[in-house]
Amino acid sequence: MAGACCKCPVTLSVFKRSLSVGPRGCGSPPRPLLQDSMSQTLRTCYVYLNQTSRSFAAVIQALDGELRHAVCIFYLVLRALDTVEDDMTIPLDKKVPMLTHFHTYLYQEDWCFTESQEKDRQVLEDFPTISLEFRNLAQEYREVISDICHRMGVGMAEFLEKKVGSMKEWDQYCHYVAGLVGIGLSRLFSASQLEDPEVGQDTELANSMGLFLQKTNIIRDYLEDTTEGRAFWPQEAWSQFAGRLEDLAQPEKLESALSCLNLLVTDALRHVPDVIAYLSRLHNQSVFNFCAIPQVMAIATLSSCYNNPMVFQGVVKIRKGQAVTLMMEATNMRAVQTIIFQYSQEILQKVSLTDPSRDKTLHILAVIQGKSTMSQSRSHHLSPMYLSAAMLLAVLSWQYISTAAAQAQGTGDV
């Protein structure tokens, strides 16, 4: 994007904003549950995780076994990459090579970058600590993290000055900054042997997990992004309704703006059947919770955004109490299906008779409701141990959200 940074939940949707359940930029996230067996450098990595990920730290630490450390380092590596991409003080002739070669820094013991002006610059300034713990991971984890870092860096460099024009390019952009995170996480799940190999091999479903989160963030953040000079809504969509993207915020353009908004929400919803299919394959409870929570947050947010003029006037967020309820409930496939069905029903009730995307919206909602009511071959049953873990995660997240409530005015983020 010319003169603007890419929109990445960690880069992307899955980490930086998509998995966050608390209001942006507010409060302090829960402290990591450090263990005596951790090295000092690994402890430092968890400190950085808490400093840069807000409430996502609690979700990572609920993962089982060595997967927890692998995902923590994966997050920090992508956070460092994202910090380079976001820093507009780095000239392009320097930034592009840094992005495309960033994966090689993982094997350079002393590489660091001390010139960043970004708020998360500590992950670049102390990158040797992160890269050391990366090199301490098992080879199967290192291969995944390095590969995704390389592919993402190349994709970021491509979109530095490239506008998101067509709907196909929107998918491509979201793949680079979010789909690759979903693919990488899925490969880590399988590498840990907590999940079957097919979870990591089915890149189409994993990509959809990331795209659904990223598109939700892009749709929700229209006003914030356009105010700051960033453009992530695809031109193919908004050009049908306005001469300029920022024109959609004009009161006289409300009808056209809502038509464009509903078109993009409908496009995002087409990933939900893949989300349902992906979640239904998971066996490990901690992995299921890790994946399901942000997805149900996303469909709740899309329901709030659909046909809502507030998208063009402020920030649309789900309530913090609603967020905690979703975290408490999204612990098994049947509950997730019920949540998805309920929010798809809410959207259905908002579909206007005159909306240009009406037929497509009704079709995808029918598909989603069909998928969300199908009986599953396997149900997730909560043992007392996992119920306690889910309660702990909800309490940690509630503490974070409550700390931020003074600024959030009673709302929660995706």
pTM, whole model, 2 decimals? 0.82
> What's the pLDDT at 402?
44
> What's the pLDDT at 327?
85
Query: Which residues lie across from 412 on neighbouring strands?
Result: 318
Residues 301 and 322: beta-carbon distance below 8 Å = no
User: What is the CATH code for 38-161?
Assistant: 1.10.600.10
Catalytic residue among 173, 212, 222, 278: 173
54 CB-side CA count, 13 A: 25
272 CB-side CA count, 13 A: 32
Measured CA to CA, the distance from residue 339 to residue 402 in angstroms comes to: 24
Other C-beta atoms closer than 10 Å to the C-beta of 104 total: 13
Catalytic residue among 43, 121, 230, 319: 230
> Could you confirm whether 241 is annotated as catalytic?
no
Q: Which amino acid is at 403?
A: T
> Could you confirm whether 54 is annotated as catalytic?
no
> What's the pLDDT at 6?
53
> What's the pLDDT at 7?
55
* pLDDT beneath 70: ranges in the chain: 1-36, 54-55, 374-414
> What's the pLDDT at 277?
96
Token pair of 276, please? 């349902």
Catalytic residue among 189, 290, 306, 343: 290
87 conformational bin, left if phi > 0, alpha if psi -120 to 50, beta if neither: beta
Residue 132 vs residues 101, 104, 127, 352: alpha-carbon distances, Å: 18, 13, 8, 55
> What's the pLDDT at 324?
87
> Could you confirm whether 220 is annotated as catalytic?
yes
Q: Is 378 in a helix, a strand, or coil?
A: coil
> What's the pLDDT at 162?
84
> What's the pLDDT at 287?
95
Length of the chain: 414
> What's the pLDDT at 400?
44
> Could you confirm whether 230 is annotated as catalytic?
yes
Catalytic residue among 127, 141, 220, 400: 220
